[in-house]
Amino acid sequence: MRDWKRIEALQLENRDWFRPWEATNPEGPMNFDFRALVRNSLRQLNDESSLPLVIEYQGKLVGQLTVSNILHGSASTAYIGYWISPLVAGNGITPIAVALATDYMFKVVGLHRIEIDIRPENKASLRVVEKLGFRFEGTKKGFIHINNAWRDHSVFALTADEVPGGLVNKFMKH
Ligand SMILES: CC(C)(COP(=O)(O)OP(=O)(O)OC[C@H]1O[C@@H](n2cnc3c(N)ncnc32)[C@H](O)[C@@H]1OP(=O)(O)O)[C@@H](O)C(=O)NCCC(=O)NCCS
């Protein structure tokens, strides 16, 4: 809970940076109650449906990475989503954060597959999955309500057997 104010400051100070890629409410205005959003994330952590993480750089919170919709059993899959402050963008922080989270979900939690969905217009985010070797699987039409409309998303995924030595290792050797 001690992180919500910093998350709020980063989000509200950088509206133009986030707006094109931000999930919106198809039925009305956006919820900018960050305290409630963090509380909701912690509820999902508690019921093990989500793993909400922050990204730190030089000891400071600079972004968030969330592993969501965690399913065990025959699916053993989850989604990863992320954002980072524009002040530290371009330093390769998000790719290493995604690699760490993916290895944790494969090796510690025991998942089999991680999916990342990205608007085809989001060149920076496309570079993140490209650097990490996530596979393009296809397009989900009108998948998520983003920036006030239903937007197509390109689907990228990785299965545990594709990175037997771990994604961090593979990425660092690259
Ligand atoms: C997508 C995002 C998380 C990438 O994070 P990052 O830590 O900057 O990732 P990288 O350092 O690997 O940079 C990725 C690409 O961003 C672009 N980029 C680099 N510096 C940048 C800057 N200052 N401003 C904008 N884009 C920049 C480059 O194309 C870079 O690719 P390159 O390394 O081949 O040059 C970040 O741009 C972001 O938070 N964007 C807004 C929210 C968002 O799009 N979330 C993802 C939704 S799917």
What pLDDT digit, counting tens, does each position of 43-80 carry?
A: 999 999 999 999 999 999 999 999 999 999 999 999 99
Domain at 4-173, CATH from 3.40.630.30, 3.40.50.450, 3.40.50.360, 3.40.50.300: 3.40.630.30
- Ligand 1 centroid to Cα of residue 88, in Å, is 9
- Ligand 1 centroid to Cα of residue 171, in Å, is 17
Q: Which atom of ligand 1 is found nearest the CA of 89?
A: 8
Mutate to test the pocket of ligand 1, among 13, 61, 82, 155 (most ligand atoms within 8 A of CB): 82
Q: Which residues, judged by CB distance below 6 Å to any ligand atom, belong to the binding site of ligand 1?
A: 17-18, 21, 82-84, 86, 89-95, 118, 122-125, 127-128
Plot region of 115 (φ>0 → left; ψ -120 to 50 → alpha; else → beta): beta
For ligand 1, atom 19, name the residue with the nearest CA.
90
Which residues have CB under 8 Å from 21's CB, separation 6+?
A: 83, 119, 122, 125, 146, 147
What pLDDT digit, counting tens, does each position of 103-143 carry?
A: 999 999 999 999 999 999 999 999 999 999 999 999 999 99
